[in-house]
Amino acid sequence: MRRGYPDTDVFYRRLDRDFPLAAAATGVEIVDEEGRAYLDACGGAMVASVGHGVGEIAAEVAAAARLGYINGNQFTHRWVEELASELAAVLPAGLRRGYFLSSGSEAVEAAIKLARQVWVERGRPGKWKIVSCAPSYHGNTLAALSLSGRPHYRRIYGPLLSDFPSIPAPDPYRRPQAPGTTGEALEEELQRQGPETVAAFLVEPVGGSSSGAVVPSAGYWRRVVDSCRGHQVLLIADEVLCGMGRTGRWFACEHFGVTPDILVLGKGLGGGVAPLSAVVAREELVAEIAAGSGAFNHAQTYSHHPVSCAAGLATLRYLKRHRLVERAAALERPLRAALDGLRDDPRVGDVRGKGLLAAVELVADRGSREPFPRAARVAERLTAAAFARGLVVWPNVGHVDGERGDLVMVAPPLTIGEPEIEQIARRLGAALEELA
């Protein structure tokens, strides 16, 4: 066991706990240096979509590493070209150009800058506001955090953040008829702000960990698309978490027949083998910039990096060859059935999700849907109890009011089998019992 402060030179994210040292990982299993095995039921942070230790991805990455650093202003290379064209082949029609970066936060920042640049190039510099939802999470860099409806992440950084308009996120569990859930909240907010001032609406098509795998209705999406098109507001879909097959379609927006103007990808895009994210834009947006200023006014040293793009290319090919997107769709039912079994416990208020993205919501009172008091730390304690049983799940707190709200996310590698899904439910159930 490696200890946190003061026994190490590593500045851990959490300084109040010990971490096992991961020594090896294969498929859905991570093994520590003491030989203890953990079932990775959330791909780390909803990242390891093709499982761990995939030899062919490692080999592609090693080949690209031999090329080393190639600057995107001076050269192109085969990994970025092939990744972009193989990605374009699975993208919804109309989306095509991929701009590759490292993290989801960076890609969100790039996406909102792209939206802004488009309006400036169209001669409409008054359009600059970005509307987003609460709860939501779009990243930890300052603009992405400004757009994230996560009050407890933002609190101490208040003076550094920008003010953007925010609307309630869909919440079919607690507020099924509210404007945030029906999609009317966007129209109301655009009227309030003046649509001539709004550049884009940034939204997760299927909720990530901040709201807990919320699946909006088709009606929600019809209203949102109508408002965006009617008021010339660009639609930016943040699929950092829910994209790349996680929900049983290549992209979550496909469940609703929606093609955004800009799509943001990350996490599973690189299979977790190398940091990789992307901003994907409609061809006409890029063509407008090409005919206008001639360049996207945004650059980062490590954009289009060969090693990251090689990880993305090999991951994409692996997803296709093993038909893992179809597999995620087919496993939605067994995963849901297994997690639904936890409802015998009265603290399980809701089980929801799409494909292999699922959330279990824990409540103090199932009838009133009243959350637990924050001090009870239910999601964290449940996650810790599961970890002690060799099960890795992802806790989330505060989605109800910024303080209260307990979610446990289950989002295993898309390679998982039904016996391991049963294992997840069994170990989570045992951890819940322990919590009593």
Per-residue x/- track, 64-83, ligand PLP (CB under 6 A): --------------------
Q: Is 137 in the site for ligand PLP (CB under 6 A)?
A: yes
Tell me which of 240, 244, 324, 331 binds ligand PLP, using CB under 6 A: 240
CB nearer to ligand PLP: pick between 139 and 170: 139
Q: Which residues contact 156 (CB under 8 A, 6 or more apart)?
A: none
Q: Is 109 in the site for ligand PLP (CB under 6 A)?
A: no
Stretch that binds ligand PLP, among 92-100, 133-141, 289-297, 351-359 (CB under 6 A): 133-141
Tell me which of 135, 149, 180, 208 binds ligand PLP, using CB under 6 A: 208
Task: Decide: 267 and 47 in contact? Cβ < 8 Å.
Answer: yes
CB nearer to ligand PLP: pick between 187 and 204: 204
Q: Is 138 in the site for ligand PLP (CB under 6 A)?
A: yes
Q: Is 201 in the site for ligand PLP (CB under 6 A)?
A: no
Per-residue x/- track, 324-363, ligand PLP (CB under 6 A): ----------------------------------------
Q: Specify the length of the chain in residues.
A: 436
Nearest to 102 by CA among 281, 242, 311, 297: 311
CB nearer to ligand PLP: pick between 43 and 266: 266
For β-strands 37-40 and 391-392, DSSP reports them as: parallel
Q: Is 108 in the site for ligand PLP (CB under 6 A)?
A: yes
Q: How far is the CB of 212 from ligand PLP (least distance, A)?
A: 12
Q: Is 241 in the site for ligand PLP (CB under 6 A)?
A: yes
Q: How far is the CB of 254 from ligand PLP (least distance, A)?
A: 17
Stretch that binds ligand PLP, among 97-105, 356-364, 389-397, 424-432 (CB under 6 A): 97-105
What is the edge-to-edge ordering of all strands in the sheet holding 357-362?
Answer: 348-354, 357-362, 406-410, 394-397
CB-CB neighbours of 434 under 10 Å = 14
Interface residues with ligand PLP (CB under 6 A) are: 103-105, 108, 137-139, 204, 208, 238, 240-241, 266
